[in-house]
Amino acid sequence: MTAFSRLSRALAKSEEDRLFFKCPGCHIVHGISHGPGPGPRWGWNGDVEKPTFTPSVLVTWSEPSDNAGEFDDVTKDVKKVCHSFVTEGCIQFLSDCTHTLAGQTVDIPSWED
């Protein structure tokens, strides 16, 4: 379990200095690693209220089928995609998102909501 500490209205960070924002499309938090270190890294403008991350944020995962009979069949897993540009505190969801905010631009939700 990651411990978050709130950085601003929009962002929190973990002990590993990863930044997190709440994704209103996925209803989960997405983590951004910045600065030196292993793994994928994003550029960050250093602004905690109106962050910009570059390049785009792409999150993919699979969920078991909603059909109970297919729940244990990994070939029936549903592929989920969340792909966005985070620019000056707004999330621009690209059209390849599988959630309902695909193609829309929204403010990063308040961390406390």
Binding site for Zn ion (CB under 5 A): 23, 25-26, 82
Residue 67 Cβ vs Zn ion, minimum distance, rounded to whole Å: 24
- Strand stretches in 16-108, DSSP E: 19-23, 28-32, 43-44, 53-54, 57-63, 78-87, 90-93, 105-107
| CB of 70 or CB of 90, closer to Zn ion | 90
DSSP secondary structure letter of residue 76: G
Residue 77 Cβ vs Zn ion, minimum distance, rounded to whole Å: 18
| CB of 73 or CB of 107, closer to Zn ion | 107
| CB of 73 or CB of 103, closer to Zn ion | 103
Residue 69 Cβ vs Zn ion, minimum distance, rounded to whole Å: 28
Amino acid, res. 14: S
d(CA 55, CA 94): 13
Do strands 12-14 and 19-23 pair parallel, antiparallel, or not at all (unpaired)? antiparallel
Residue 28 Cβ vs Zn ion, minimum distance, rounded to whole Å: 7
| CB of 12 or CB of 23, closer to Zn ion | 23
